[in-house]
Chain A
Amino acid sequence: MQAVGVMAPGQSTMIPRVLIGVAVALTLLIVVAPLVYIFSRAFAEGWQVYAANLMHPATVHAIWLTSVVALIVVPLNIAFGIAAAWAVARFRFWGRGLLVTAIEIPFSISPIIAGICYLLLYGRQGILGPWLQANDLQVMFALPGIVLVTMFVTAPFVAREVLPLMQAQGSEQEEAAVTLGASGWQIFTRVTLPNIRWALLYGAVLCTARAVGEFGGVSVVSGNIRGQTNTLPLHVELLFNDLNATGAFAAASVLTLLALVVLVVKTVLETRRGV
């Protein structure tokens, strides 16, 4: 040990060790243990039971429905995110700040409130209820309702990633393309898209994770009809309430795997964007 200098070495190695130790211990307890426990319980009765749980028609249907919802919502969210970023980052107009705030609204509203909003609008007693019934249109307790609420909840995801990047990059390159006679579509695909691709992908990945995992909002508007409007997160709850814990954990393990994939993609993209 060196003589006590400016930095008191003994003290400065003790404190970091204790802090890192506490941080790691708490994270193991609160974050890692739940993650590992999902797989431990899903496989508690062996591989065959796990496979049988996943192959159960109700679970297969839930996986299918959740995929359909994500396949509808994510492309729409990408289109919206690009449109919003293009409008806000490339033009000046009255109410621009207000628009950005409006895009962020879903972040601060609990999904369960979003679900209630939709039910009050499209439900049987809702504002549009009588008209929907007269025209025999079913929005609530059906796929359209689930898609709409998921669109609400995920609205800011792509826009929030792409917008700051487009603002930081400025519009010189696109303006140069205009003077060279490029069409709007050419500018977008040849200039803008290559510049924003990683942010776009990142936003789309986060949007997918959120769309697949949405629970509160969807549980209000889906009606939990087994084999019809039961998404995968709702199916987890259903199995749990049926006291089929292993089945619930098997269904949850699919969502957990997806979350882990999202984390890996996120980490890879962050390194890539950092360079």
Chain B
Amino acid sequence: MTSAAAPIRAKRVLPGFTLSLGTTLLYITVIILIPVLALILKGAEIGPARFWAIVSSPRAVAAFQVTLIAAAIATVFNALYGLLMAWVLVRYEFPGKRILDALMDVPFALPTAVAGLSLTALFSSNGWIGAWLEPQGISVVYTIWGIALAMAFTSVPFVVRTVQPVLEDLDPGYEQAARTLGASEATIFTRVVFPQILPAWLAGCTIAFARSLGEFGAIVFIAGNLPFQTEIAALLAFIRLEEFDYNGAAAIALVLLFFALVLLLVSNRLQAWAARHRGA
């Protein structure tokens, strides 16, 4: 790399290239790359047969299932709630709109453990909402619904904040044209508006889903953490560590890492699509 950089260096006007790039590379290598490499090396050391045995053990499969199902429920909810919030915040004027907008950042700013603690107490049988739900036979705490609730809380801003800017930039001309041609509001939304925000909406949902799969802090409080029932994959990895079963923890962590990277790729593709859409 030094040989390739040398001829360009003469053209550089601004100072600090070596210092800034050196600092950046040092930080990224020590803080991010080497630790991630340690996990991958550990995974390679386990060997395919043992890796498969760990990952396909009934308890691990149950944990992956619980995590995926709960994340799917949370994402479907956020897809609708997030879209509604983005729509309301961009399209309508009403008192308290700025507060409502700021509230959408609460899940980003509030530590996940605090969110988990509060949601658990709120939805337990003596909490404000739980006291009202339990008599109807609906339990949230210590069920998969609780896990989905915690995931939905922590990941909803991803949908709102991805869709919102696209909705703001939308050209009103198409809608006006459709309206003058006599299209109903519902038709305008489904035929004109929705296709334009679809890529961004899907990208937001993908990020929210990825975030839900990796969420830990909020869930450990509300899940009850019963093996085979309400134990999420991240927690099972954590338990394996506490048992000093580093192979078990590494294998589960690698599966989660794989999911995260695939979803990152998908959301990057979707965002590129969204960018093309906006450029067109």
> Measuring CB to CB, which residues of chain A are less than 8 angstroms from any residue of chain B?
6-8, 11-12, 15-16, 19-20, 22-24, 26-27, 29-35, 37-38, 41, 76, 79-80, 82-84, 86-88, 90-95, 99, 102-103, 105-106, 108-114, 116-121, 123, 125-127, 148, 151-152, 155, 171, 174-175, 178, 183-184, 187-188, 206, 209, 212-216, 219-220, 233-234, 236-237, 240, 245, 248-249, 252, 255-256, 259-260, 262-263, 266-267
18 residue pairs of the A-B complex, CB under 8 angstroms, read A23-B88, A30-B153, A34-B118, A37-B127, A41-B118, A80-B23, A90-B16, A94-B5, A105-B32, A109-B260, A113-B257, A116-B249, A183-B15, A212-B111, A219-B217, A236-B114, A252-B113, A259-B109
Chain B residue with the shortest CB-CB distance to A11: B185
Q: Would you call A252 and B118 a contact (CB within 8 A)?
A: yes
Chain B residue with the shortest CB-CB distance to A90: B14
Residues 217-260 of chain B: 1 if any A CB is under 8 Å from the residue's CB, otherwise 0? Answer: 10011000000000000100110010010100110010011001
Given contacts A91-B12, A95-B1, 20 further A-B contacts (CB under 8 A): A23-B85, A26-B81, A27-B85, A35-B118, A37-B121, A37-B122, A80-B23, A83-B20, A83-B21, A87-B24, A93-B5, A109-B257, A113-B237, A120-B42, A125-B244, A151-B31, A187-B15, A249-B117, A256-B110, A259-B114
Q: Would you call A110 and B213 a contact (CB within 8 A)?
A: yes
Shortest beta-carbon distance, A69 to chain B, in Å? 13
Chain B residue with the shortest CB-CB distance to A171: B14
Q: Would you call A263 and B20 a contact (CB within 8 A)?
A: no
What is the bound-complex CA distance between A99 and B81, given in angstroms? 35
Chain B residue with the shortest CB-CB distance to A149: B35
Chain A residue with the shortest CB-CB distance to B86: A23
Shortest beta-carbon distance, A6 to chain B, in Å? 6
Instruction: Give B152-168 interface residues, CB cut-off 8 Å to A.
Output: 152-153, 156
Shortest beta-carbon distance, A92 to chain B, in Å? 7
With a cutoff of 8 Å between Cβ atoms, the chain A residues found around residue B32 in the complex are: 102, 105-106, 152, 155
With a cutoff of 8 Å between Cβ atoms, the chain A residues found around residue B250 in the complex are: 116, 120
The answer to whether the Cβ of B28 comes within 8 Å of any Cβ in the partner chain is: yes
Chain A residue with the shortest CB-CB distance to B101: A267
The answer to whether the Cβ of B198 comes within 8 Å of any Cβ in the partner chain is: no
Decide yes or no: A237 and B216 within 8 Å by CB, A108-B263, A151-B31 being known contacts.
Answer: no
Instruction: Give B79-112 interface residues, CB cut-off 8 Å to A.
Output: 81, 84-85, 87-88, 91-92, 94, 96, 98, 100, 102-112
With a cutoff of 8 Å between Cβ atoms, the chain B residues found around residue A266 in the complex are: 102, 105, 109
Which one of B100, B128, B180, B220 lies within 8 Å of A33 (CB-CB)?
B128
Decide yes or no: A175 and B13 within 8 Å by CB, A80-B27, A105-B32 being known contacts.
Answer: yes
Q: Would you call B180 and A116 a contact (CB within 8 A)?
A: no
Shortest beta-carbon distance, A142 to chain B, in Å? 16
With a cutoff of 8 Å between Cβ atoms, the chain A residues found around residue B25 in the complex are: 99
Q: Would you call A240 and B221 a contact (CB within 8 A)?
A: yes
Chain A residue with the shortest CB-CB distance to B240: A116
With a cutoff of 8 Å between Cβ atoms, the chain A residues found around residue B35 in the complex are: 114, 117-118, 120-121, 152
By CB atoms of chain A within 10 A, which of B27, B92, B96, B250 has the most? B27
Shortest beta-carbon distance, B104 to chain A, in Å? 8
Residues 175-188 of chain B: 1 if any A CB is under 8 Å from the residue's CB, otherwise 0? Answer: 00001100001000
Q: Would you call A24 and B113 a contact (CB within 8 A)?
A: no
With a cutoff of 8 Å between Cβ atoms, the chain A residues found around residue B118 in the complex are: 34-35, 37-38, 41, 249, 252
Q: Is the interface of B mostly helix, strand, loop or mixed?
A: helix
Q: Would you call B114 and A23 a contact (CB within 8 A)?
A: no
Q: Would you call B14 and A187 a contact (CB within 8 A)?
A: yes
What is the bound-complex CA distance between A119 and B84, given in angstroms? 42
Q: Would you call A111 and B121 a contact (CB within 8 A)?
A: no
Q: Would you call A256 and B114 a contact (CB within 8 A)?
A: yes
With a cutoff of 8 Å between Cβ atoms, the chain A residues found around residue B192 in the complex are: none
Residues 32-64 of chain B: 1 if any A CB is under 8 Å from the residue's CB, otherwise 0? Answer: 111110110110000000000000000000000
With a cutoff of 8 Å between Cβ atoms, the chain A residues found around residue B14 in the complex are: 90-91, 171, 174-175, 178, 187
With a cutoff of 8 Å between Cβ atoms, the chain A residues found around residue B23 in the complex are: 79-80, 83-84, 87
Shortest beta-carbon distance, A97 to chain B, in Å? 12
Chain B residue with the shortest CB-CB distance to A34: B118
